[in-house]
Amino acid sequence: MHYCGYNHTSNVNQYKFVAASTSFEELRIGEGIYTSKDIATILKIPIRKVSYWISKYVREKFPEITGYVYNFEQERGIYVNFKSLLQIYVFSELKVRGHSNKEILKMYSFISERYDTKYPFAKKSIYSVGSELMLEEKGELVNANFQISLKEILSEYIHKIEFDMQGNAIRFFPLGKEKSIVVDPQIQFGSPTIKGTRISAAVIYESFKAGDSQELIASVYDISVSDVHDAIEFTQAA
């Protein structure tokens, strides 16, 4: 990682990382590519809020902590990858649960340092326990003060993210894992699809809007009626 130091202030709850140098995200096949509009559609968050968060946190606050530039700037706008999409998701969910920007950034710094990762919120499970932000580690919860607590609750939002054995986020289920809609950066450039297929949720919805019945769509695409219903539910809610 690109740190030159980790400074404790007089307040033990304060964490500050100073980037020694800057490295840049590169566009890679299999890592997804998303605009503000894409993120707003997938996460069901107003695009103005997404655009602000990308500007304030993805492009400013997060790089101040890690020394890493997360976005790709192209002629047509600003893009981020799958891991940054998930970081925006976790950030938004923590905000909904009443955590302040300061608390969230402190946990971001804590995880980045503890696990030497550029994508703290796409690396390990973050939990909201009362007023505390906790990190799951070896079956227990750790907060940014290095205090250990018994694992009391599992926040619902984290169950939308699938992690591999190393704790890296690999898939996102915007409607929850009990539904068939999945965002997988290795499938269809990370656009929402039917789990286990390469069929876009948007394609299913277009067929439905054109007047095809759910049963006919299921037959044509060799998927279940439930899959069709999930695609319609997801797209209509966007």
- Which domains are seen in the chain, by residue range? 3-172 (no CATH), 181-237 (1.10.10.10)
Question: Phi/psi class of residue 116: alpha, beta or left (left: φ > 0; alpha: ψ in -120 to 50)?
Answer: left
**Is residue 92 predicted with pLDDT exceeding 50?**
yes
Mean pLDDT, residues 18-47? 74
Q: Name the one residue in this structure whose structure tokens are 């969910």.
A: 93
**Is residue 23 predicted with pLDDT exceeding 80?**
no
Q: Name the one residue in this structure whose structure tokens are 């939308």.
A: 160
The pLDDT, as a whole number, for residue 232 is 97
Mean pLDDT, residues 46-57? 94
Task: Tell me the residue type at 67.
Answer: G
Q: pTM for the whole thing?
A: 0.78
Mean pLDDT, residues 146-150? 44
The pLDDT, as a whole number, for residue 143 is 72
Q: Which of 88-102, 115-129, 132-146 has the lowest mean pLDDT?
A: 132-146
List the one residue out of 108, 81, 82 whose CA is nearest residue 94.
Answer: 108
Instruction: Give the Cα separation of 23 and 7 in Å (integer).
Output: 21
The pLDDT, as a whole number, for residue 137 is 72
Which regions of the chain does DSSP assign to beta strands (E)? 3-8, 15-19, 23-24, 68-69, 72-74, 77-79, 126-129, 132-137, 140-143, 148-149, 161-163, 169-172, 181-182, 193-194
Q: Please give the residue that has the higher pLDDT: either 15 or 172.
A: 172
Axis crossing angle, helix 36-43 with helix 82-96, rounded to the nearest 10:
50
Q: Which of 66-70, 132-136, 197-201, 210-214 has the lowest mean pLDDT?
A: 132-136
